[in-house]
C-alpha cells in the first residue's frame, strides 16, 4: 500500500490533566503515515486524484487547535478517526508527541494505527 508521510506537524493545543495545562496551550508534534492508492494520481498528475496533504494538515491543525482533551490518547484517536472519515485513506498511523510533558525527556507520546 502506498503512503503519504507527514512529519513533525506542530500544533498548539489545550491538553493535559493538570490545572496549568488546562489554561495554557502546549506544543504538540504529529507524525502521520496515510495509506492509500496513489497510482491514479501518479498517472494523471492531478491533485484531485490524490490525498491532498495540505488539506489534511490544515484540517488537523484547526481541529487540534480548537480541541480540549485531558489525554493524548483521546486526541490521537479522534484525530485518526477524523482523517479516516474525511479522506480516502485505508489506514492511518499517527504518532502524537507532547514535548513539554516531562522534564529530562525530548517528548512523551502515543502511536496508534487505525483502519477503515
CA angle 49, 11, 52 (to 5 degrees): 5
Comparing CA positions, the residue from 60, 7, 52 lying closest to residue 32 is 7
Which listed residue (25, 55, 93, 98) is catalytic?
98
Q: How far apart are CA 68 and CA 88, in angstroms?
A: 27
- Per the annotation, the verdict on 78 as an active-site residue is no
Q: Which residues are catalytic?
A: 98
Amino acid at each position: 500500500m502506498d503512503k503519504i508521510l507527514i512529519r513533525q506537524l506542530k500544533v498548539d493545543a489545550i491538553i493535559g490533566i493538570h490545572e496549568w495545562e488546562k489554561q495554557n496551550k502546549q506544543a504538540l508534534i504529529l507524525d502521520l503515515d496515510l495509506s492509500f492508492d496513489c497510482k491514479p494520481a501518479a498517472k494523471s498528475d492531478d491533485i484531485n486524484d490524490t490525498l491532498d496533504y495540505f488539506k489534511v494538515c490544515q484540517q488537523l491543525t484547526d481541529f487540534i487547535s480548537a480541541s480540549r482533551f485531558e489525554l493524548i490518547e483521546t486526541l490521537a484517536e479522534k484525530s485518526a478517526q477524523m482523517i479516516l472519515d474525511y479522506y480516502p485513506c485505508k489506514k492511518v498511523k499517527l504518532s502524537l508527541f507532547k514535548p513539554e510533558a516531562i522534564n529530562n525527556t525530548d517528548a512523551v507520546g502515543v502511536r496508534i494505527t487505525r483502519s477503515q
